[in-house]
Structure 1
Amino acid sequence: MTRTIDVRTASPYTVTVGEGLLESVAASVPSGAARVLIVCSAPLRARVEELRVLLDARGLTVVIAEVPDAEAGKTAEVLSFCWQVLGKSDFTRSDVVIGLGGGAVTDLAGFVAATWLRGVSVIQVPTTLLAMVDAAVGGKTGINTAEGKNLVGAFHEPLSVWCDVLTLDTLPRLDLAAGLAEVVKCGFIRDLSILDLVEANVELLRVQEDGALSPDARDVLVELITKAVAVKADVVSQDLKESHLREILNYGHTFGHAIEYTERYQWRHGSAVSVGMVFAAELAHLAGRLSEEEVARHRSVLSSLGLPVTYAGGRWDALSTAMRRDKKTRGDLLRFVVLAGIGNPVRLEGPDPALVLGAYDAVSA
């Protein structure tokens, strides 16, 4: 089963979700390209080699930039290395970058493409659930700095995105669960059918052992990915550069990013966002926006997937400082995305500090 979602921005593109898509990826490289840079990490060498053979058969010169795995690859040093590879390979504006990997790789590859010659084409081939529903779609690219995550970047839309669920067979189950946090987020902010589908298929989705997913689990994931991408596509089509509406996609991220920073990125992004959504729900409840039952649904859905819903106590000062670096902050004014009922995201600007601290107390382990 294959699904497609159109992202209707100024530079429209299609996201394809299905099984066995590498031949389509190779075929999607524009005919005017002579060279392709594949940005990847070591665990995906076999899949990169499959793609290299397919691209080579089209007469393309293939260059591979193997970068450190996960967040360790999103640094200025790694970015500079990729620029060096492009320069030594005589990359021109008609050539193409392919990001094949998880969210860190697609973020990096997109920023490499955005900055080389002031912008070359990029094709994104996400291989984790998190990257499929979040990082690879929407044109956000970037790297981290010592001061925080994704503080340096650019908006640079891909030519196309290819989400092959077969790659999820090799994904550690904890990473699969972390990716489901971003799927559930789309359910809370916009499409309640996502929550219903997750709740009806928890046993299929909460796979305990690494290895091949069942055909039924893959089918459910295709539907969930399609629905989550459709939510993001609709939002970014209306607001690519996060001037207003797109901020709702950051539901759970203000506190989640603070956890990641405090933990020096040793927490999975989806796990941090899971706690961040519960924090946002508790904050909304304390502000009179969300019922106890709706907060309880946050905890129930997320914990049923094996995701954390609490964080350590005694770290408020570090978390508070980190939240003030959030992209939504304006001056000293903290701004949160919260829900005024499930499916109805709103902004909460400058909430009473006692409410924010109360939300932290509610999620403290």
Structure 2
Amino acid sequence: MEKIQVKASRTYDIYIGRNLLKDAGMYISEILPTCKLCIITDDVVSELYKDTVSQALSDAGFDVHTFVFKAGENSKNMETVHNILEYMAENEFTRSDGIVALGGGITGDIAGFAAAIFLRGIQFIQIPTTFLAAVDSSVGGKTGVNLHAGKNLTGAFWQPSLVLCDCDTFSTLSYEIFLDGVAEAVKYGVIISLELFELLLLHNQRLFSEPLVNEKPDHSDAVIEVVKQCVQIKRDLVMEDEQDTGIRQLLNFGHTVGHAIEKCSGYTVTHGHAVAMGMLIISKAAHTFGLCKTDCFSAIEEILKTFNFPVTCPYTAEELTRAALKDKKRAGKSITLVLPEYIGHCYLKKTDISNLEAFIKAGL
């Protein structure tokens, strides 16, 4: 098992390994006294893991409550948060109680936001069950929900008190959902780590399946290594720039266009798939305008195709620009884009919004 510590506005540990769910109560009892805990999960994950986690918490002496919402991006809104807050108030949760986010990135964002605003802030624990949540969204304290105008436009910075990443939960994912996490891992490779990029390229689709008998290297351990490297990169960026005003913005590579694709699709294109398309569009445009030292577009396209990502964007530059201009990363008449200089290094470039459509068009 791997243990990584984050020292931000709250110091907390991230455990990465296998067969951790059954010991969730033990890990949580090390940081919280016995209290009420509300497991927040969706109706898909509830069927898979709620009973295991609930029993583990009960065995450790916690008073366990559960709130289940309908799975999917359409539940990531203020109505769901309102219902959670009302449920916790009705069950007399206090400031000494906590929330356990059990599920993927949507669950973590919703539960974390509820924790940030209930009684002006209570502690919460992240238990990610998707590859995407494990490598990215469960760490760093970004929480929030969508508005009709766009993605993640309402939220708060609220660090978890603990992250338990049980990689065995990835076995219940479809390959398409697993790919959402792959896209985020590729992002980490492009912005910071050539080593991670090459690790993903080496193992490619075999990361998803159990290793064959006598197959070398052992791909089951590669998944844990990928999660560890991604979390370490994010840990370092968060500790340097917790409020996302500087270097942490590198984590937005592919996201400005990716969020626009999600919005244009009515969220039928999932986050990771949209980010994959966004990375390609941005890297192709950067190459076209001579803003990178090497042809990052070809390298990113190669690795995404190795994983069998769908990489063709069905929307026009005009449609994507209209959606992107409502992105939370816009500041007045400018928006900050993350551009690749070479694989393993990206940089931030403030761009006038009047030039955004032409830039996106060059990437399509």
TM (norm. structure 1) is: 0.93
**2: distance between equivalents of 1:70 and 1:345?**
31
Asked whether the 8 Å contact 2:100–2:111 carries over to 1, the reply is yes
Kindly provide the amino acid, as one letter, of the partner of residue 252 in structure 1.
G
Hey, what does 2:75 align to over in structure 1? 73
Cα gap change, 1:178/1:299 in structure 2, threshold over 3 Å: closer, same or farther? Answer: same
Residue 4 of structure 1 is matched in structure 2 by: 3
Shift of 1:353: 5.7
| Contact kept? 2:17, 2:165, Cα under 8 Å | yes
Question: 154, 157, 171: which one pairs with 1:155?
Answer: 157
Q: Deviations over 1:311-336 (max 9, x none)?
A: 025x2222111111122211122321
Counterpart of 1:198 in structure 2 is 200
Runs of 4+ in 1 over 6 A off after TM superposition: 212-215
1:343 maps to 344
| Aligned with 2:225 (options 223, 245, 254) | 223
User: 1:61 corresponds to which residue?
Assistant: 63
**Residue of 285, 289, 294 corresponding to 2:291:** 289
Q: Quick one: structure 1 residues 326 and 213, their matched pair in 2 at CA, closer, same or farther if it must change by over 3 Å? A: farther
User: Which SS does the other structure have where 1:10 is aligned?
Assistant: coil
- Structure 1 residue runs without a partner (length 5+): none
2:187 paired with 1:188: no
**2:9 alignment partner, SS class:** coil
Contact 1:282 1:359 in 2 (8 A): no
> Counterparts of 1:201-216 in structure 2 under 5 Å?
201-205=203-207, 216=218
CA contact (8 A) 2:296 2:340 kept: no
Change (3 A) 1:362 1:31: closer
Coordinate RMSD, CA, aligned = 1.9
Which structure 2 residues correspond to residues 1-365 of structure 1 after superposition, within 5 A?
2-27=1-26, 28-29=28-29, 30-45=31-46, 46-205=48-207, 216-291=218-293, 293-313=295-315, 315-350=316-351, 356-357=357-358, 359-363=360-364
Shift of 1:214: 6.3
Q: Distance in 2 between matches of 1:94 and 1:262?
A: 41
Identical pairs, percent = 32
Q: 1:357 to 1:143 in 2, by over 3 A?
A: same
Aligned 8 A contact 2:13 2:162 in 1? yes
1:98-146 deviation per Cα after TM superposition (whole angstroms, max 9, x unaligned): 0000100000010111011100000000000111111111000001110
In structure 2, distance between residues paired with 1:150 and 1:282: 26
Secondary structure of 1:340's counterpart equals: strand
Question: 2-side partners of 1:354 and 1:74: how far apart?
Answer: 31
CA-to-partner distance for each residue in 1:227-286, whole Å, 9 max, x for gaps? 011110000011111011110000000100000000011101000000111111112212
Give the unaligned 5+ runs of structure 2.
none
Aligned-residue offset at 1:343: 2.2
CA, structure 1 residues 41+214, in 2 after alignment: closer, same or farther (shift >3 Å)? farther
Alpha-carbon distance in structure 1 between the residues aligned to 2:263 and 2:142: 19
Give the total of aligned pairs.
357
CA distance in 2, matches of 1:130, 1:234: 18
TM-score (norm 2): 0.93
Measure how far apart 1:346 and its partner are.
Answer: 1.3
